[in-house]
Structure 1
Amino acid sequence: METIRIFHNPKCGTSRNTLALIRNSGVEPLVIEYLKTPPTRDELMQLISDMGCAVRDVLRRKGTPYDELGLDAPHWTEMQLLDFIGEHPILLQRPIVVTALGTRLCRPSEAVLDILPQPQKGAFTKEDGERVIDERGQRVKIDE
């Protein structure tokens, strides 16, 4: 089985919940703390291509130098935006998960369920108390 990779920030609740959901499927992923070990420009380009999105779609604004850098201006090219992420990895939205079934920005964290090759092994509740997986390992319906 191909290794699951997660570009993770341990200070982020969504990232922690996503990592916990991966582990709840019985898999120990390769955890890449992207603030300590940022992806290269080529890796970023591949991740973004695999997700089928634009660089702007993976930019994080909250708690980053986004506004100070003026990144909301439309004149920045995709390559320039990649350079900014390279200089300031905190600009990268997280978590990004790579599995044999696809690459996804997992916001909300349960988006990871669509690309996990293994089913959930048991109940799972997010840090905030939201129940996501029931005791049978099945996704909880929103109205429950």
Structure 2
Amino acid sequence: MNDRMVVYQKPTCSKCRETLALLRESGAEFDAVNYYEEPLTVERLRELIDKLGVPARDVLRRDEPLARGLKLGEGGLSDDELIKIMVENPDLIQRPIVVRGDEAVLCRPPEKVKRLL
């Protein structure tokens, strides 16, 4: 694999910082995208979820107060509805998501990034 990696992250997130540190230590080339400054679109988040190979619900941060308040963990919403809600509320997106070519990994724990090295 020689595609440059892209890390979708939040700079204040400890898991994101740990993942970025692992990538730097490995010497890998990557771009870091702060999706709070460069918001994800519905199409982009859907593409990331497709590359992860998981349902949208698996990318939802269910323990966030907003998710609990909206009862998002209880089901009943389609992937499209969840994706729209996550795009409108980026705190609800699990992070970091690292992409290399057609593959993506949700780096929780951060060591999962090694799959893409």
TM-score by length of 2: 0.91
**CA radius of gyration, larger in:** 1
Alpha-carbon deviations, 1:70-126, whole Å to 9, x = none? Answer: 21232111111011011101100000000137210000000000111xxxxxxxxxx
RMSD: 1.5
> Residues 18 and 110 of structure 2 are in contact (CA less than 8 Å); yes or no, is this contact kept in structure 1?
yes
Could you list the structure 1 runs, at least 4 aligned residues long, displaced by more than 4 angstroms after superposition. Answer: none
Match of 1:75 in 2: 76
Moved more, 76-85 or 60-69: 60-69
Describe how 1:41-120 pairs up with structure 2 within 5 A.
41-100=42-101, 102-116=103-117
Q: Give distance in 2, aligned partners of 1:97 and 1:45.
A: 14
Q: Give distance in 1, aligned partners of 2:102 and 2:55.
A: 20
Shift of 1:23: 1.1
Shift of 1:2: 2.2
Unaligned stretches of 5+ residues in structure 2: none
Alpha-carbon deviations, 1:1-28, whole Å to 9, x = none? Answer: 4221001111111110101111112134
Q: Counterpart of 1:72 in 2: which secondary structure?
A: helix
Q: Give distance in 2, aligned partners of 1:25 and 1:56.
A: 31
Match of 2:36 in 1: 35
Q: Which has the higher contact order (CA 8 A, sep 6+)?
A: 2
Identical aligned residues as a percent = 37
Shift of 1:35: 1.9
Q: Give distance in 1, aligned partners of 2:38 and 2:25.
A: 25
Q: Give distance in 2, aligned partners of 1:17 and 1:32.
A: 15
**Letter paired with 2:72:** L
Relative distance call for 1:101 and 1:85 in structure 2 (3 A) is closer
> Residues 101 and 115 of structure 1 are in contact (CA less than 8 Å); yes or no, is this contact kept in structure 2?
no
Task: Give the number of equivalent residue pairs.
Answer: 116
**Higher helix fraction: Structure 1 or Structure 2?**
2
TM-score by length of 1: 0.75
Relative distance call for 1:8 and 1:59 in structure 2 (3 A) is same
Unaligned stretches of 5+ residues in structure 1: 117-144
> Residues 48 and 104 of structure 2 are in contact (CA less than 8 Å); yes or no, is this contact kept in structure 1?
yes
**Letter paired with 1:8:** Q
Moved more, 102-111 or 55-64: 55-64
> Residues 51 and 102 of structure 2 are in contact (CA less than 8 Å); yes or no, is this contact kept in structure 1?
no
